[in-house]
Structure 1
Amino acid sequence: MNAKELLKKYGKPENFINRDLSWIEFNRRVLQEALNPDLPLLEKVKFVSIFSSNLDEFYMIRVSGIKEQIAANVLEPSIDGLTPREQLPKVEKALQPLLKQLYDLWSNDIVPSLRENNIFLHEYDDLSKEEKKVLTEYFKKEIFPVLTPLAFDPGRPFPYISNLSLSLAVLIRKPNGENHFARVKVPNILPRLLQIDDIVEPNKRQNSNGNFKARFIWLGDLIKENIHLLFPGMEIIETHKFRITRDTDIELQEDEADDLLSVIEENIRQRRFGSVVRLEVAHKMPDFMLETLMENLQITKEDVHQVEGPLGLSDVMILYKLPVHHLKEKPFYPVIPKELNEEEEIFSVIKQRDLLLHHPFHSFTPVVDFIKKAAEDPDVLAIKQTLYRVGTDSPIVKALIEAADRGKQVAVLVELKARFDEENNIYWARELEKVGVHVVYGLVGLKTHAKMTLIVRKEFDGVKRYVHLSNGNYNTVTAKLYTDLGFFTCNKDICSDVSDVFNFLTGYSQQKEFRKLIVSPLHTRESILKLIAREISFKKSGKDAHIIMKMNSLVDPAIITGLYEASNSGVKIDLIVRGVCSLIPGIKGLSENIRVISIVGRFLEHSRIFYFFNNGNEEIYLSSADMMQRNLDRRVEVTFPIEDKILREEIIKNILHIYLKDNMKARILHQDGSYYFIKPQDGTAKLNSQEWLMNHVTKENVSVKKSLRK
């Protein structure tokens, strides 16, 4: 199938959902989890925080991009037919009811429920005179020295306000009767919610019944009530909170850069000064103060969000850390797969057969141990790895440093352009370089998003290679929160391909063809379209045909139109798309054989799995890539086959089919772009796919332990 021909045939605007409106529907599903009456209270708080954090990033990246296009007078519509100027009001209109729902939920449900469970978010006026006195003393000692009041008058310009910072706008009156504006930043080095117990009653953590009790006050409220101490001799007329969001997606001029590291560092610095794309203000802020902010931040009324509740609800995640286990989901402890439960060395296990890990149901420990063992093993000659988002305290990076200290050849590609992880990655890159690791910072014009590790080991019968490939990052924290698939193998073809990809990344290799791997930006789109076309040909010859694709996002027009062609040919298509989906399902003559579901639950669905029936010779591919232009054209991505029959059947039977049977957390996409929960049919048992998977791996592990005891 030719991409141009497909686009010519199906590329009409009415055949696509706008990607940003689709993203808003995804965040609506996140909010639905917070609204779920059956969810434990602190889990609701967690989803409130996630919803708010997602929205912050949406404004920093997507909304800022739309506004930049409008400013540049871009008139060309996107694939769905909307110009930037048409899209922006639709985005804002779609968000407004969600924000109302969010703050109604917070004020009328969550805060009262927290109170019923002895977790109190106090207004300042709720406190006793003695408590206020103690808090004022705490303010003077611990908070006052950190604060810097910034005046705004003819001699002092409007102060710089950093991205996502909470501030207080203060109107003061001098003794001569003049009014002036000042800004006080709420310091982000202190928690947004201060635990009063730690300040007023540090030795009391239980109430009279022996139950846990926690009392909080918003840091901004405490500063506001003591703001007069910052302006002695002045009259405080009024004080109001506000918060800004800046454009953080500043374009890199890589082609002109000799040193990518310095370019990224400069990009991080410039990000602080991106234009303001959103101003959130307390709903009681008077017009003159709002106009002062708008004028000096160079924004319009359309950029202002008036909020009836706390600003920056992403910060309430601090409440989730409270040790109140009955207000959270029952804890789940990832298990070690049965093949790795014995004492056998991991290289020996991989040599016997390929291994599959399904995180977070399976522990990430074997991946860390794989790198640690390679670092310690005197027979290991070299380690090569790609690092995208590794986290702040990475045992994997520490193992790589140890390997270099032991004299092994270590080469690491650290992707400096991993958005919002740049500073962390720069730190680890420098730590690796200090011990002689060969560090590559990525390719000009491309992000390296592939997740690969290659171990080269000297053995009695010659040099062997061992590989780990994954959809997820080498990050021990997210491995407990994201669903991802990791794969260990010593298959000669795959190992040779991974070596070739590393040579492409670190040297001047022009490798275009690979034995087993599908590699972006070379031929992923073309390869996926060929696999779709093969299903079409089987269907046209009267045989069964079926495609299942699980991913985070489906946006690429060529892939979408390829799926439309397959649907029109009678191919059955099941799509499991967690986030953005621009494909419209269920339209007669276009997509009537396509079903799209999205699963949002306890864990973030992050795995990418592509299934093709292939006339009964079923094929499974795992990938680091979503079906988006950026993944197919502007990133180094790796898609790899699962050829082991047992592993393939495990993915089909106990992963894909389980997701497709989910009738508790799955929502189905309708033609208008909305999603609705799938209602269990009469007589059909309820199935939550993530709970099923937790039970599945736990039962497997229990049976293994029993057999070991025998």
Structure 2
Amino acid sequence: MKNITPRDISWLSFNARVLQEANDASVPLRERIRFLGIFSNNQDEFFRVRVATLKRMIQLGGKRANMHLEEKPQQILDEIQTIVLEQQSEFNRIWDGILQELKKEKIFFVDDTHLTKDQKIFVKKFFEEQVRSNIIPLMIESLPQLPYLREKSIYLGVVMHKKDSAYDHKYSLIEVPSKSVGRFVLLPSPGGEQRIILLEDVIRFNLPYIFSYFGYDHFSAHVFKVTKDAEVDIDNDVTTTFIQKILHGLKNRRKGKPVRFVYDKEMDAGLLEYLMKRLNLSRKDNIIPGGRIHNFRHFMDFPDVFKSKSTRRQPFAHPALLHSLRVTDVITERDIMLHFPYHSFDSVIDLLREAAIDPEVTTIKITAYRLASNSKVVNALINAVRNGKEVIVMLELRARFDEEANLEWKEVLEEEGVKVLIGIPNIKIHAKLCLIKKRSGKKIIQYGFVSTGNLNEKTAKVYGDHCLLTSNRNIMADINRIFRFIENSKTGINHLKACKTLMVCPTSMRKQLLQLINAEIKNARAKKTAAITAKLNSLSDVSLINKLYEAATAGVTINLVVRGIYCAQAEQKKLKNRMHAVSIVDEYLEHARVLIFHNNGNEKVYISSADWMIRNLDHRVEAAALITDEDIKQELKDIIHIQLRDNVKARILDNELSNNYVPSTGKKKVRSQIETYNYLYNKIPKQG
């Protein structure tokens, strides 16, 4: 495919932007550490899913491994290995710099070899009381098969021998129980200082005590982790229930083949060779030497040991909801657009709670993809059932890495009497929809919402999303049609095809997007103003990219804000400099999708749950809502234009994937997330 950047290489470029944030000295130190954690977690998932998929493609010899078929998977894998090693080197450099910055704040990492007398006593006691019962050392040489290694855990590879005999040695593995104990242990520290030891170093210090039975007097231990193929295969056995298929897929995930081995480069050479042999890894695999510390994803939850308080701005109520007793009363009169994380997610919770206790409400239908661990959404739905409402929840069991949590939620909801729908074979339900029905006299009133983000009050504090609260009859009619399809997918596809106001996947959205772009091309060729502005998480669909190329060649001005994967190559002579793309990586995760078509001056503005990827457009149920309220249209346009002016956190998406910042020389500095916060906050009426 000419003029298309491979999606996996583009994704690595996105993660490099996350690493840039960790390297930015203007970012608060606690946030720089958090970005290192995000980078590490992102990379883990990339190997679990994308690298695993590429390896499958090679094994299948060109046959379709799933919906994505790369032309040269081995070439891409080789390029990934080179880029990942470069990024690991940059990661280590940044972490070394952050350690120096921590020292300036009198925050010190201490390892097992640099403990004071009091700290040694503390570490021994902490191990005995908190750690010992959570570890089981495995003497791996005596085992016929290497034990199952947990995918998200880190392990200490231990070598023990006697000082007078280097040949008499044993190997052992210890899983570091970060989940049950926590990764960071705060040590007794001199006044004004904070000293931290990692859990693996607590275990290292206690190795002579753990292995005292064997009589060895010399120990070395180094951390490693294994990343496995995390793709869930759903078999097509018609005699197996969908739940059983999901559970079977999850069990297979646990047995997934290793796709990456990351280890402390100081690890004993003999142990390293032994582990690689037992894991069936070769030097051609992703064998990545690193520093002493692994699983930096835990650093997203770094302890709050900083003297300065967090500068994160607090969400606030939408001005239209400030003085109203009920959210319901407002949205049955007018549309409301909530912009997270600037607006509070509490308004969504309040809407569901009101419906749960309203005697006139008869039905609540809602889609759920990723829920918070202590979900207030679920609590509201359970209360609704207890109050005699019919509650139907479409719970997508295949939300990647949330499958087990969603299976647990299914059980909780069903025990309370909620009707739980669990998905449709071969199609994920990714649309974010809610439908509430109430009787008022002889009338049926319907209201609810269409959102770009998940019903998750935790992520709503850090994810940038839009949620349209509405009682618009046309929108609610289409939401009804979507739920009819979900409830009866075998015979209900015509319900999706009948949607008139919402653009819906997998039936109509692709076709309608092409029509909207074609209309702009037609206007450009007629010498009229023509423009497309799109904000997306990812742009990788080849047919839409080529259509954008065609539009830019015809003279349509195209502005794109794409956070993650961006496979287009805008720097082509034929595009007449008409196609521009930036990516914004900042304190909040830009998660919203917004589409603006000039439409000969009568602009069409949509919010959408769908990215421009094959998986979204052809293999998921998605929904995009046309915004009809002129004030909300203007608000969305204003926010997007603020982002297009960003010259602090915006990077240019060029063909070289260089991630250069948008230049701010001679211009007022615009950091879009702060400007957006101020823009929305200033809409609140000032008292007095």
TM over 0.5: yes
Q: Is the 8 A contact 2:34 2:301 kept in 1?
A: no
Could you list the per-position Cα deviations for residues 458-486 of structure 1 after superposition, in whole angstroms to 9, with x for gaps in the alignment? 11351110021100000000100000000
Structure 1 residues 571 and 264: alpha-carbon distance in aligned structure 2, compared to 1, 3 A threshold:
same
Which of residues 300, 303, 308 in structure 1 aligns to 2:282? 300
Q: Is the 8 A contact 2:451 2:465 kept in 1?
A: yes
Which of residues 407, 410, 423 in structure 1 aligns to 2:404? 423
C-alpha distance in 2 between matches for 1:397 and 1:141 = 36
Q: Is the 8 A contact 2:112 2:204 kept in 1?
A: no
3-state DSSP class of the match of 1:554? coil
Q: Residues 384-403 of structure 1 correspond to what in structure 2 (within 5 A)?
A: 384-403=365-384
Residue 361 of structure 1 corresponds to 342
Cα deviation, residue 250, structure 1: 2.5
C-alpha distance in 2 between matches for 1:316 and 1:344 = 41
Could you list the per-position Cα deviations for residues 636-691 of structure 1 after superposition, in whole angstroms to 9, with x for gaps in the alignment? 10111001111111111x21111111111111111223321011242x21100100
Residue 300 of structure 2 corresponds to 317
Cα deviation, residue 191, structure 1: 4.5
Structure 1 unmatched ranges of 5 or more: 1-12, 202-206
Q: Residues 385-464 of structure 1 correspond to what in structure 2 (within 5 A)?
A: 385-460=366-441, 462-464=443-445
Aligned residues: 678
Could you list the per-position Cα deviations for residues 243-276 of structure 1 after superposition, in whole angstroms to 9, with x for gaps in the alignment? 1111111222256464222222222222211111
Could you list the per-position Cα deviations for residues 126-183 of structure 1 after superposition, in whole angstroms to 9, with x for gaps in the alignment? 2113321331232233222222111123554322211132112223348997433221
Residue 200 of structure 2 corresponds to 220
Q: Residues 469-548 of structure 1 correspond to what in structure 2 (within 5 A)?
A: 469-507=450-488, 508-509=491-492, 510-511=494-495, 512-548=497-533
C-alpha distance in 1 between matches for 2:432 and 2:383 = 21
Letter in 2 for 1:171: V
C-alpha distance in 1 between matches for 2:330 and 2:236 = 43
Residue 347 of structure 1 corresponds to 328
Q: Is the 8 A contact 1:75 1:84 kept in 2?
A: no
Pairwise CA RMSD:
2.1
Cα deviation, residue 307, structure 1: 0.6
Cα deviation, residue 105, structure 1: 1.2
2:21 matches 1:33: yes
Residue 266 of structure 2 corresponds to 284
2:210 matches 1:230: yes
3-state DSSP class of the match of 2:149? coil
2:660 matches 1:672: no
Q: Is the 8 A contact 1:16 1:80 kept in 2?
A: no
Which of residues 71, 74, 79 in structure 1 aligns to 2:59? 71
C-alpha distance in 2 between matches for 1:254 and 1:448 = 19
Q: Is the 8 A contact 1:254 1:445 kept in 2?
A: no
C-alpha distance in 1 between matches for 2:126 and 2:323 = 55
Which of residues 27, 30, 37 in structure 2 aligns to 1:49? 37
Cα deviation, residue 327, structure 1: 6.0
2:156 matches 1:168: yes
With 299-308 and 353-362 compared, the bigger mean Cα shift is at 299-308
Structure 1 residues 538 and 55: alpha-carbon distance in aligned structure 2, compared to 1, 3 A threshold:
same
Residue 250 of structure 1 corresponds to 232
C-alpha distance in 1 between matches for 2:307 and 2:115 = 27
Residue 272 of structure 1 corresponds to 254
Q: Is the 8 A contact 1:600 1:666 kept in 2?
A: yes
Residue 338 of structure 1 corresponds to 319
With 188-197 and 164-173 compared, the bigger mean Cα shift is at 188-197
Could you list the per-position Cα deviations for residues 471-524 of structure 1 after superposition, in whole angstroms to 9, with x for gaps in the alignment? 000000010000000001111111111001000001242321212011111121
C-alpha distance in 2 between matches for 1:592 and 1:295 = 53
Q: Is the 8 A contact 2:315 2:344 kept in 1?
A: yes
Structure 1 residues 153 and 100: alpha-carbon distance in aligned structure 2, compared to 1, 3 A threshold:
closer
Cα deviation, residue 104, structure 1: 1.1
Q: Is the 8 A contact 1:41 1:327 kept in 2?
A: no
Residue 677 of structure 2 corresponds to 694
Residue 112 of structure 1 corresponds to 100
Structure 2 unmatched ranges of 5 or more: none
Normalising by the residue count of structure 1, what TM-score does the alignment of the two structures yield? 0.92
Letter in 2 for 1:152: I
2:120 matches 1:132: yes
Q: Is the 8 A contact 2:481 2:498 kept in 1?
A: no
Q: Is the 8 A contact 1:466 1:495 kept in 2?
A: yes
Residue 561 of structure 1 corresponds to 546
Letter in 1 for 2:568: L
Letter in 2 for 1:689: S
Cα deviation, residue 286, structure 1: 2.9
Normalising by the residue count of structure 2, what TM-score does the alignment of the two structures yield? 0.95
Q: Is the 8 A contact 1:578 1:600 kept in 2?
A: yes
C-alpha distance in 1 between matches for 2:69 and 2:256 = 28
